[in-house]
Chains A and B, each alone.
Chain A
Amino acid sequence: MDTPQTLDLRGIRCPLPIVRLNNQMKLTPPGQPLEFIADDPAFLLDVQAWARRLGYPLTLASPGGPDIRGTVCRP
């Protein structure tokens, strides 16, 4: 598996984190994991809704601190 690239979504607020994650996802080939880090509190629920709607498998890191980290991958 390729080393995942990390998308930094810190310092921006709704709807920018989801818009930028979605844009980056379109550029990421299927099967290649995309790692992200965000600090918008709304993003925790938003990213789950986004991934569920689009059918992208999502893993979130255990919460710790203000940052939300995770990985998403286009099947």
Chain B
Amino acid sequence: MTAPLHQPLCPFPAPTAAPAGSRLTFIVFSGEMDRLQAAFTLATGAAACGIDVTMFFTFWGVTLLKTGTSNAKKSLVERLLGRLLPPGPDGAPLSRLHMGGLGRALMTRQMRSKGIPALSELVAIARESGIHFGICESTMQMMGIDRSELMADIDFDLCGVAHVWDQSNGGQVVFI
């Protein structure tokens, strides 16, 4: 390094107590790519800053984690939902200007050219960052999603609201 250094910017010695607000819970309700991108950017950044992060997926948010199909017996509605809902991070539409996929393709290209991570990359980072994943059991039932259809090698709890609030433990909650 050739440029001169300023004085250290952060207090030394290191603080011993965990900073206030060190627990964060995301209620991931939406299934659109841009909203999920925001949720995962905020969540992975928070985890890197030492914040204890939980992501709870409910309603359309669950479709992000559904990447496969199973041979489980399903009703007509469940089969229909399975066909209509876009699977996984690469299938999520934009909430605005999707334009039948053109908007999403342009946005994805723009992000790649600027060095902004793709949603699938952020999901992978979240899994490696020790972020706790919870999935709404009621949504799984409602949409007829079988556990075997969820993203492989992902650690998650199939749970309900009591577990979510127990995990959040009075910390900050983000609904997205």
User: Which residues of A line the B interface, CB within 8 A?
Assistant: 6, 11-16, 18-19, 21-23, 35, 40, 46, 48-62, 64, 69-71, 75
Task: Give every chain A residue within 8 A of B14 (Cβ-Cβ).
Answer: 54-57, 75
* B45 touching A18, Cβ below 8 Å: yes
Q: Is B19 an interface residue (CB 8 A)?
A: yes
Interface residue from B6, B49, B117, B129 paired with A50 (Cβ < 8 Å)? B49
* A15 touching B50, Cβ below 8 Å: no
Interface residue from A6, A21, A23, A59 paired with B6 (Cβ < 8 Å)? A59
Interface residue from B4, B8, B12, B114 paired with A13 (Cβ < 8 Å)? B114
Given contacts A15-B44, A22-B48, whether A62 and B10 have CB atoms under 8 Å apart is no
A interface SS class: mixed
Task: Give every chain A residue within 8 A of B15 (Cβ-Cβ).
Answer: 55
* B10 touching A60, Cβ below 8 Å: no
Task: Give every chain B residue within 8 A of A19 (Cβ-Cβ).
Answer: 44-45, 48, 125, 129
With CB as the reference atom, state the residue of chain A lying closest to B128.
Answer: A23
Task: Give every chain A residue within 8 A of B1 (Cβ-Cβ).
Answer: 6, 35, 61, 69, 71
Interface residue from A46, A49, A52, A59 paired with B7 (Cβ < 8 Å)? A59
With CB as the reference atom, state the residue of chain B lying closest to A52.
Answer: B10
In the complex, A6 Cα to B2 Cα: how many Å?
13
Produce 1/0 per residue, B102-144, CB < 8 A to A. 0000000000001111000010010001000000000000000
Given contacts A13-B115, A69-B1, whether A49 and B49 have CB atoms under 8 Å apart is yes
In the complex, A16 Cα to B126 Cα: how many Å?
12
